[in-house]
Amino acid sequence: MPTITRSNRTRLLAVPAALALAMSAAACGDDDTVVEEAEEAPGIQLVEGEQVTIEGEVQEVLDPTAFTVGADETLVYGAEAFAVDEGDEVTVTGDVTVFTVAAVEERYDYDLTDDLYVDYETELAVDSEEVVVTEQ
C-alpha cells in the first residue's frame, strides 16, 4: 500500500479527502507529520521542494541508481546504487524535484541512457537521501 509522508503540511496539494485529513490533523493542535495513504486519497501530488517519505512496491528498476515505486510509478533516483529488485517493498526519503536528465547528469556526474528516462523528463521525482527495503 503506497504511503506518502509529508513534512511540509502548508505546501500540501491533494484531493479533498486528503485536505480533510490534513484539516482534522490540524484541528488536533499537533504539528506532527501528515501521513497520507495514496489508495485512500487518489490523485495525491508531489510538490517540488518538499521532503517526502514514500512507502511502496518497486515497479521497475531502470538502472542501478534509479527505479520507480508505487502504482503511479514515481521515479526515485540518487547518488548511490540501490540494492532493490522489482516487487520489493521500500521506504524512500528524499526531496521532490523536477526530473531532467541534464540536471541529474550534472549533479551526480552520470551519463544516463536518455531513452530510459523519456517518460520522466520534466516530471516530479524523488531525489533520494535514503532507501530502505522493508520486504523482499
Q: Using alpha carbons only, what angle is made at residue 47 by residues 6 and 124, rounded to the nearest 5 degrees?
A: 120
Strands (E), 9-123: 34-37, 51-63, 66-69, 74-77, 89-98
CATH number of domain containing 68: 2.40.50.140
Q: What percent of the chain has pLDDT over 90?
A: 65
Domain span including residue 24: 3-37
pLDDT in tens, 94-120: 999 999 999 999 999 999 999 999 999
Q: How far apart are CA 46 and CA 13, in angstroms?
A: 8
CB-based contacts of 45, cutoff 8 Å, min separation 6: 13, 14, 124
Residues 32 and 95 in one domain: no
Number of C-beta neighbours around residue 60 at 10 A: 12
pTM higher than 0.75: no
Residues 32 and 64 in one domain: no
